[in-house]
Amino acid sequence: MLTKEREKLFKDLTQAAGVSGFEDEIRDVIKGYLPNNVKIDYDNTGSLLVTKPGLSSHPKIMLSAHMDEVGFMVSRISEEGFIYFAPVGMWWPHIMLAQRVVIKSKQGDVPGFIGAKPPHLLSPDDQKKMQDIHEMFIDIGAADEKEAREVFGVRPGDAVVPDAHYKAMKNPKLLMAKAWDNRVGCALYLELIKAFSEEDHPNTLVFSFTTQEEVGLRGAETAAAAVQPDACLVFDGCIANDFPGVRKSELPVALGEGANLIIMDRSHIPNKKMRDFAFSVAEEQEIPLQPATLLGAGTDTGKILLHDKGVPSVALGVPRRYTHSHTSIIHYDDYENTFLLHMALIQRMNEEMVKSFTDFS
């Protein structure tokens, strides 16, 4: 059920700032939700590693969700006090203009607006063009460069975060927020940590909240080296395409139709036995599970499955509409189904089961 407590968790996680490379704020919010009986570590990029020992030290199962989000970085301040910036992660310029942002300056949050000419000032030709990201600017209301730097504290290298608020839609199961990619995974893992702090499991769980996924799956590589997992469940990906204009040849992924399992993305193809194990558990438990492809991008899975001699890995998730924009939408029922699927999988991932994933004899 979407309780008030759960909505607070969603709100706290999605509204925290955490552009790739600047994950301090979101990491602190996640830490604030951890129970006392877990062990906390970090890798050297700042990924947060939370160990929950179970009935056996092996298999060691890594559960990996990235905590960073797409955003921007201040690159230059003009003499007039306008802020030029570089995208951090993949953005489509169309959806950036006329959006509110917050610059995380050393003197605190500086609200701003990505300026766009009104149609009155555009020629008919200009109106048809896509604006170049590198010509866009943020208006922070500074009188000039000196005020931007000295009074507002803005500097090249500051992170810029989309400014958008968590809100349930008219159908209260549809939830709008920034950064569902991948805070929905962080929320689900925090709830799993809580659930398993009161329940035994036949393995040891290491939840990793990784850094810098959006700029090249970086924290996943260092987190895997720190964890040394026997198997890995990744939470990410899962782009819903149930809205107008999507090619009908794409594998359909719809909100409210269940959890997702990525059968292929640009960084990985899952371990086949582990993938089939997940599908059969979902079927046995009557949990709806949609196969999904993510051909335009990769997930942390791509790095983790290549760690050392290889780690059997599968990526699961909740479908999201309009990802990599100021606001994306998820369906609460998918979240609940994905949670139930994780509970069922983890209880069955004992030493014998995990060994069978890599038995090629």
Binding site for Zn ion (CB under 5 A): 181
Catalytic site includes residue 80: no
- Can you spell out the DSSP letters for 279-291? HHHHHHTT--EEE
- The continuous run of DSSP H or E covering 340 comes out as helix 332-348
Closer to Zn ion by Cβ: residue 19 or 305: 19
CB of 331 to Zn ion, least distance (A): 18
CB of 220 to Zn ion, least distance (A): 13
CB of 236 to Zn ion, least distance (A): 7
* 54 CB-near residues (< 8 Å, 6+ apart): 196, 200, 201, 202, 203, 204, 205
CB of 160 to Zn ion, least distance (A): 17
Could you tell me which of 63, 138, 65 has the C-alpha nearest to residue 104?
A: 138
Nearest position to Zn ion, beta carbon: 181
Between strands 289-294 and 259-265, the pairing is parallel
CB of 299 to Zn ion, least distance (A): 9
Closer to Zn ion by Cβ: residue 189 or 357: 189
Among 69, 213, 214, 336, the one annotated catalytic:
213
Could you tell me which of 185, 132, 170, 208 has the C-alpha nearest to residue 342?
A: 185
Closer to Zn ion by Cβ: residue 222 or 325: 325
- In angstroms, the Cα distances linking 63 to 160, 210, 241 are 28, 10, 26
Task: Name the strands in the sheet holding 39-42, side by side, starting at the edge strand that comes first in the sequence.
Answer: 39-42, 48-52, 204-210, 60-66, 231-235, 313-317, 259-265, 289-294
Closer to Zn ion by Cβ: residue 83 or 175: 175
* 72 CB-near residues (< 8 Å, 6+ apart): 19, 85, 86, 87, 88, 101, 159, 160
Q: Structure tokens of 297?
A: 């991008």
Name the amino acid, one letter, at 76. R
- Please list the alpha-helical segments (H only) found in 62-144: 124-128
How far apart are the C-alpha atoms of 3 and 340, rounded to whole Å? 17
Closer to Zn ion by Cβ: residue 180 or 196: 180
Closer to Zn ion by Cβ: residue 181 or 265: 181
Cβ pair 131, 93 in contact under 8 A: yes
CB of 262 to Zn ion, least distance (A): 13
Q: Structure tokens of 94?
A: 């169309």
Closer to Zn ion by Cβ: residue 181 or 334: 181
CB of 210 to Zn ion, least distance (A): 12
Q: Which residues are catalytic?
A: 213
